[in-house]
Structure 1
């Protein structure tokens, strides 16, 4: 029998609390679905965070099926009966996998991605997809197919991206937990601008399949976003684990990534504060201050924070990054260019990536790979001295929603459409786990910012323990909720 009245607003519960209530039969899966659908129908028309929403009757029927399974003593897992919208870059049967492109508006996949299949197997009910930039390119969620997703805290500015729809859905309680993917900060940037947690797992931690290439294209990865570190860790536990179709995935099997929120974890923790890399990264005023305020919380809990140089030629690294990105993104765009009128319907930033990549030679790519290898070795040296590296997640505050991308940062011209996201490439290029944790707000009180923490490759569990300990220090910051969008 439902005791909904004891639980209050179901959409305000964290995913773990909601899962516990469902399995204790304090609330039915139908009641949970109904509560989320009511909020989605009321707020999503203005947030535009969830796209291709399934019909209510279909979702409620699936919720009834989950309730019937519980009646029989059967649970599919932690996500049993929990509504979930999968990022519109990850194939899910029954939903178009559009990547925000009009060319793919009706592209129905024949199979689920590994991540989506694992989340379904754990019991989630897929209600729709979350919005993203076209092809996931650029940290600003807008596309010609569905339009723009405004920031959860201020509708006048960007939500970030490419997992912008997921971040806004979490912050505005349209979803209890969310997934996303990260190539150049796509799980970290929107999390920072939503005052939530976003984790880019280690390379290979979450198998990426289906994929045209499984040997070279290793910069992008799927992963979790959440309002709590516990939820983040539990969702990663479902997503992670080797799959033979992704031969470079980590062959350790699914792990339990739960992390206790123990402030003692921070005592003696060695943190390298990279800041703006000695002025290399253009940074808008206030972001370093907010990040340093977050680091002061670590220091007050006993961590050792040491300003540290990257110790690697950052411009050389950026040039190598451009080669890798052009090669990988260009291949994705090439697959669509054979369609009639495709070039006219693909956004210019994507065409720029393709055109730049089309002239790359194998020798150029191998030179860039050698630079990446040297950088990886340098990162391992840093991790001999430090437990985590820290730097701001973003180099700018959320910018006007009608702007395609920041052309200037702190008076410096950006020479590419993604140069203002450079602070995210270090975890990606090293194959290391990186997390965005809430750090504070702009002086206007409306724009959140995040602190980026990076651990050594495959140290996802240790990074989550650090994040959970930090979370225990920022209850006041996490208690803040964005205003609901005006009607």
Structure 2
């Protein structure tokens, strides 16, 4: 390694830069992995983002990666890059707990498909990232490992359910991350941690094993510190797989090329509160207001507009409750006393559902799809807040109110994200600003059906114009202690 570069500096190179440097042999995979392990050891105690660590295994695999490269072997696009996988994604031989006491000692014997693809592309597993109990909710806290703290304020939430992944990225503990998103779990923690998260189109990233492989509410996807790195990760994660019946046929290579920085002429709709239907705290609205001017300065035609999302609430709540009962209902009768109150509530909501309830949700979603499709005949991109609040007090289970409106359940404060989930449209969270208290705020960019690449292009243009994602948390810098 060039010794004028500190290990902390190396940990904030982009994934694209690191991968290229390793292939040129300017730096070894072992040096890169060792630098990130050092960063984890130094910074992770302040944020609790990575909850299971396998340093010896990672260093051994890094040495093997260097040996393959020295021997002239073909290597993957992520060769030598350290990655900690979301603790909802099974990792062969490495503890995977789902943040639940029921699975605290579970060690799977196979990888989830996203882990499999990352490893095949050359990524080296260093550990697992923290999640809420059973992945339920957008606040990462569980009885196995405790809470993940926000790197910009350790007394605030890091979001969820990919909260550990978001905090680890912000702190330079990994250059890329895998995550999943039902109601905002890739986008919300990206917003809270000043990083980038993509909810891809359903089927873009296959899922296996999966109890409900025909479902489209939950998706897997990438997170990173830059849009280019998210596209790099998507190029590895996307593409068909025979084990996933809804996997899209487009190969991952479609996302591997350079992103376009020219968005001139795009017709952009801006909706600060989804047509007045979603409460958003004033500090979030204020932080995002300049984003409209950025797109106008880039040559876009911007106006305030919003698709008709009526019925989306019911669709999401019904589908999520059904999904929760399917996934964890068998555990409820025997282990109710060991499960969080919100987990129990959501499973029981699923048990109340009838055939007509599910049928009505299907019809509502069909009508929603066509209204959104027609909306995107007039617009190329929809902009709105990722989250309705800035990172909140870590001691709270969820915000009690948003802009004066009470939040009745742990899901209510995520409507700006989950209403988009049920449209099936790709959605990207990009760093966009900070509150007066220095808390990150993300901008959500939504594109037409299956136009993931167009959303990435728009995010790249915005990122280059603003550079908001380059503002690091103090805890991640050399000597930072998070206090």
Judge same fold: TM > 0.5, yes or no: yes
2:25 is matched with: 25
1:12 is matched with: 12
* Correspondence for 1:481 among 464, 469, 472: 472
Please, which runs of 5 or more residues in structure 1 have no aligned partner?
A: none
Query: Which stretch shifts more, 86-95 or 423-432?
Result: 423-432
Are positions 1:462 and 2:454 aligned together?
A: yes
Q: How many pairs align?
A: 477
1:281 is matched with: 278
Query: Which stretch shifts more, 88-97 or 252-261?
Result: 252-261
Alignment CA distance shift 1:80-1:260 (3 Å): closer
1:376-415 paired onto structure 2 within 5 Å: 376-415=369-408
Q: In structure 2, how many angstroms separate the alpha carbons of the residues matched to 1:379 and 1:160? A: 28
What is the deviation of 1:261? 5.3
2:314 is matched with: 319
* Correspondence for 2:239 among 224, 238, 241: 241
1:132-211 paired onto structure 2 within 5 Å: 132-211=131-210
2:101–2:143: 8 Å Cα contact kept in structure 1?
yes
SS at match of 1:204: coil
What is the deviation of 1:262? 4.6
SS at match of 1:379: helix
2:309–2:419: 8 Å Cα contact kept in structure 1?
no
Alignment CA distance shift 1:6-1:77 (3 Å): same
SS at match of 1:202: coil
With the length of structure 1 as denominator, give the TM-score of the two structures: 0.95
Deviations along 1:172-191, one digit per CA (max 9) or x if unpaired, are 00001111111111010010
Alignment CA distance shift 1:309-1:176 (3 Å): closer
What is the deviation of 1:259? 5.8
What is the deviation of 1:439? 1.0
What is the deviation of 1:19? 0.6
1:59-458 paired onto structure 2 within 5 Å: 59-215=58-214, 217-258=215-256, 260=258, 262-263=260-261, 265-313=262-310, 316-337=311-332, 339=334, 342-444=335-437, 446-458=438-450
1:86–1:179: 8 Å Cα contact kept in structure 2?
yes
Displaced runs of 4 or more, over 3 A: 2-8, 258-263
Q: In structure 2, how many angstroms separate the alpha carbons of the residues matched to 1:486 and 1:276? A: 33
2:315–2:422: 8 Å Cα contact kept in structure 1?
no
Q: In structure 2, how many angstroms separate the alpha carbons of the residues matched to 1:14 and 1:72? A: 26
What is the deviation of 1:415? 2.3
Please, which runs of 5 or more residues in structure 2 have no aligned partner?
A: 476-480
Q: In structure 1, how many angstroms separate the alpha carbons of the residues matched to 2:181 and 2:143? A: 22
What is the deviation of 1:319? 2.1
With the length of structure 2 as denominator, give the TM-score of the two structures: 0.96
What is the deviation of 1:57? 2.6
Deviations along 1:390-420, one digit per CA (max 9) or x if unpaired, are 1100001111001001121111111221111
What is the deviation of 1:81? 1.2
Q: In structure 2, how many angstroms separate the alpha carbons of the residues matched to 1:87 and 1:453? A: 24
Aligned-residue CA RMSD in angstroms?
1.5
Deviations along 1:16-69, one digit per CA (max 9) or x if unpaired, are 111111111111111111111111111112211001101x33221111111100
What is the deviation of 1:334? 0.9
SS at match of 1:155: strand
Q: In structure 2, how many angstroms separate the alpha carbons of the residues matched to 1:302 and 1:143? A: 46
Q: In structure 2, how many angstroms separate the alpha carbons of the residues matched to 1:75 and 1:10? A: 24
